Amino acid sequence: MRTPAHRRLGRSPLPVRVGAVLTAGALALSACSGDDDGGGGTAGAGEGSAAAVDVSEVVGTADGEVRGTVVDDAYRVFQGIPYAAPPVGELRFRPPEPPEPWEETRDATAPGSPCPQVAGATNPTASTEEDCLFLDVTTPAGLDASDGDLPVMVWIHGGSWRTGSGSNYDASRLALEGDVVVVTINYRLGPFGFLAQGDLSAAIGEAGSGSAGLLDQQAALRWVEGNIEAFGGDPGNVTVFGESAGASAVCAQLASPTAEGLVDKAIAQSYTCTAEYSTLEEAEQVGAGVAGTVGCTGTGEAVVECLQRAPVESLLTAWPATGGEFVVGGSSLPVQPGDAIASGDWNRVPVLHGNLQDENTLFVPLRIPAAELPGLLDPATYDAVLAARFGERAAEVARRYPLADHGSPLRVLAAVASDTGSALSTCDHVDAYETLAGAEGTGVYAYQFRDQTADPLFDFNGPPFSFPADRYDEGAQHAAELPFLFPGLFGDGLTPEQEELSTTMVRYWTNFAASGDPNGDGVPGWEPYSSPADVQGLDLAADGGVAPVDVAADANCDLWAPA
420: DSSP letter: S
Contacts with 524 (C-beta within 8 Å, 6 or more apart), sequence order: 504, 536, 545, 546, 547
**3-state SS assignment for residue 488:** coil
Which residues have a Cβ under 8 Å from the Cβ of 273 and sit 6 or more positions away?
Answer: 250, 251, 254, 337, 338, 341, 351, 353, 432, 435, 436
In eight-state DSSP terms, residue 344 is: T
Residues in Cβ contact with 484 at an 8 Å cutoff, skipping those fewer than 6 apart? 449, 454, 494, 498, 501, 502, 505, 506
Residue among 289, 314, 328, 273 nearest 438 (CA): 273
Distances (CA, A) of 463 to 371, 379, 458, 460: 16, 22, 10, 7
CA–CA gap between residue 34 and residue 40 (Å, rounded): 5
Greatest CA separation for the chain: 78
Catalytic residue ranges? 244, 359, 478
Closest C-alpha among 278, 161, 261, 156 to residue 208: 278
Cα 471 from chain centroid (whole Å): 30
Spatial neighbors of 235 by CB under 8 A, at least 6 apart, are 148, 152, 224, 225, 226, 228, 229
Asked whether 456 and 339 are in contact (CB, 8 A), the reply is no
- Residue 277, helix vs strand vs coil: coil
